[in-house]
A and B are shown apart, each in its own frame.
Chain A
Amino acid sequence: MKHVPIKLGPLALLLTVISICMTTLGILAFATARADWNLAQKYADTVQTRYTLEARGQGFLRDAAKACQEGKTLQELADTRTEEDGIFYKTLEEGEFRLKIGIVSENGSFRVVSWRIQREWEPEGGLDLWMSD
């Protein structure tokens, strides 16, 4: 039987190199897709948190309306504080987000003057960029 001489050594080497490059591409593709997915998840969670806060804020408005109907003042609402400008503020927190609602008394009811959603942020300390004399 005639033998079939085939040199496999160089071929194996070439294919091994190609496999390594392909594996690198595969890892890169997976990492990129994973990062994109994680960002999308984070965005989804952020929006959920914001609207949970929104729902709580709307609940506060209902409580405020009820208080006004019962003849109470806005100052009697729980966990509100009055600032110098006469606005009553209520702060709600959910996760990293904070909703600051400002209402003012008006015609036996109230009006929303501020509805700000903020994210908690703390400045990094200890980095002096420039020292003045």
Chain B
Amino acid sequence: MIEGSGRTGGGKSGHPGTAFYIEALLLAGVFTIVVLILTRVFVMSGQMGKDAALLTNAVHLAENGAEAVASSRSLEEVRRLLEENGNGEILESSKAEAAGEAYEGASGENRARILRVHYDEELNPDAEGGIWMDIQWIEPDSGEEGLVKSIINIYRTDRPDPVYTLETEVFISEKGGQL
């Protein structure tokens, strides 16, 4: 029987050889790193998949909001088109100023008003939902027939920044109707 100093035994004393320990250490180290990297990849992929789903939902909501704006002559009308199960509210001026940006085109006053509509994760109307759409209705200077600008932001509870932002405009004629 050949006694070597490798894996199976180390010399006459019976100690496992250094090579064995090094091999075992390397094995443990390499596969631990592999597991850690793979776990990181899986976590990253899972998060990316969730972000994609959230973005798709946000875009879809914003599109509906933009269509409502295009079909409306006032923020109240937008609310009528979008609100279901009491999931909409029009923010008062002070809240609107806090929530939205001042429209520079307005004559010194903040003419932005905001409609907030809540949805759940499945995009069903839900007054307590964790996803909401803020629709800013920014009218031009009074007495001037023109374009109403609308900025639509989609938010989710766990994110401070909007998930998606969409801007559009709608022309409101002098008669208060659309052409």
A/B contact in complex, CB under 8 angstroms = yes
By a beta-carbon cutoff of 8 Å, the part of chain A in contact with chain B is 1-9, 11-12, 15, 19, 22-23, 26-27, 29-30, 32-34, 36-37, 39-41, 43-44, 47-48, 51-52, 54-55, 58-59, 61-62, 64-66, 69, 103, 109-112
Given contacts A4-B16, A6-B24, contact A23 B59 (CB under 8 A): no
Q: Say whether, besides A4-B16, A51-B166, A36 and B171 are in contact (CB < 8 Å).
A: no
Main SS class of interface, B: helix
Query: Main SS of chain A's interface residues?
Result: helix
Residues of A within 8 A of B42 (CB): 26, 29
A-B CB contact pairs (8 Å), 26 listed: A3-B14, A5-B8, A8-B23, A23-B34, A29-B41, A29-B45, A34-B45, A34-B48, A37-B48, A37-B51, A40-B56, A40-B59, A43-B55, A44-B58, A51-B166, A54-B66, A58-B168, A58-B170, A61-B171, A62-B147, A64-B179, A65-B171, A65-B173, A66-B145, A111-B179, A112-B179
Residues from chain A with a CB closer than 8 A to the CB of B27 are 8, 11-12, 15
- Chain B residues lying within 8 Å of A3, measured Cβ to Cβ, are 9-10, 14-16
Q: Please name all residues of chain B whose beta carbon is closer than 8 Å to the beta carbon of A22 when the two chains form the complex.
A: 34, 38
Instruction: Report Cα–Cα, A41/B51, bound state, in Å.
Output: 10
Interface residues of B (CB under 8 A from A): 7-10, 13-16, 20, 23-24, 27, 31, 34, 38, 41-42, 44-46, 48-49, 51-53, 55-56, 58-59, 62-63, 66, 70, 145-147, 164, 166-171, 173-174, 179
With A5-B7, A5-B9, A34-B45 already in contact, 7 other A-B pairs whose C-beta atoms are closer than 8 Å: A1-B13, A30-B44, A33-B45, A37-B51, A40-B59, A54-B168, A59-B169
Q: Would A47 and B59 count as touching, CB distance under 8 A?
A: yes
Determine which of A7, A37, A59, A65 lies in contact with B179 in the assembled complex, contact meaning CB atoms within 8 Å: A65
Q: In the complex, which residues of chain B have a beta carbon less than 8 angstroms from the beta carbon of A54? A: 66, 70, 168-169
Q: Tell me, in angstroms, the Cα distance from A117 to B14 when the chains sit together.
A: 83
The answer, among B24, B56, B169, B173, for a CB contact under 8 Å with A43, is: B56
Cα–Cα distance between A33 and B13 once the two chains are bound (Å)? 56
Residue ID in chain A nearest B170 by CB atoms: A58
Do A44 and B59 have beta carbons less than 8 Å apart? yes
B179 and A1 form a contact (CB under 8 A) = no
Nearest-neighbor residue (CB-CB) of B34 within chain A: A19
Most interface-central of A2, A23, A33, A52 (chain B CB within 10 A):
A33
A2 touches B45 (CB 8 A): no
Q: A59 — nearest CB in chain B belongs to which residue?
A: B147
CB-defined contacts of B44 to chain A, threshold 8 Å: 30, 33
- Whether A58 lies near B9 (C-beta < 8 A) is no
A109:B179 contact, CB within 8 angstroms: yes
What distance in Å separates the Cβ of A117 from its nearest Cβ neighbour in chain B?
A: 12
